[in-house]
Structure 1
Amino acid sequence: DGLEGHCRVLNYDGRRLVLRTDSPAWNTLLRYHTPDLLTRLRRHAPLRGLASLHIRTAPATPEAKPRDTAPPRGLGPDTAALVRSLADTMNDERLRLALRRLADRHTTAE
């Protein structure tokens, strides 16, 4: 894996170039080579005024994982029947009604 996969430019103000590396190992390597890097970078017209190189370390930002777009699975028929029978044993009216609503809304996703 080359440097381009581990280093990004954060800022350049005409005198100071700020780089971000994704690990302390790459940071150390770049700091070790800073004098040579400055000499090489100054050879390019846009970077002739470069006076310093600053290196920061921050982990690469993880890519956003796509959300699961599948509809939520409902209760299967057997589970719905079990929830209904459980509801029938409840003394608490609110809990009994909530369990019945849950069982009545079941859908089978197959």
Structure 2
Amino acid sequence: MQRKIRVVEEIIGTRSAFATLSKQLEIQKSLLRRVSSYLPPPLDQHCLGAIPGKGTLTLLTDSPVWSSRLRFLTDALLRRLRNDGVAFGRIIVKVVSTQSPDAVAQHPPRRARLSHMSAELLRDTAEHTSDEKLKQALLRLSSHAD
């Protein structure tokens, strides 16, 4: 049992480091609750994190759509936070993926395909190009037609 405790302490680090991390996590949770309370539904459910930095508050959302909507509200959020005694110079909004790596692997991105007309135009351009490298590149590209 003593060995297991020692291993956990090695993984986590010293108790003071763990206490510091725990305190930072509580600050982030509290800040997220405060920010979320200022946001209209359903945007409040899509703000996933609030990370304070040196003069900057980073807010995390789960999609580009919610990120855009949140960016429109950053000035109002800064004013509300300042009125509550929490001052930041600016807010940065970032998108984080909430999908597991397995879910992403199940749906790989589709390869873009060229129309037959686009492929024909590329082949025609390749035929009239004197640069051999460019000609070969255009022909390779034209092979991606439906």
Normalised to the residue count of structure 2, the TM-score between the two structures is 0.37
Structure of higher CA gyration radius: 1
Question: More strand per residue: 1 or 2?
Answer: 1
The structure whose RCO (Cα within 8 Å, separation 6+) is larger is 1
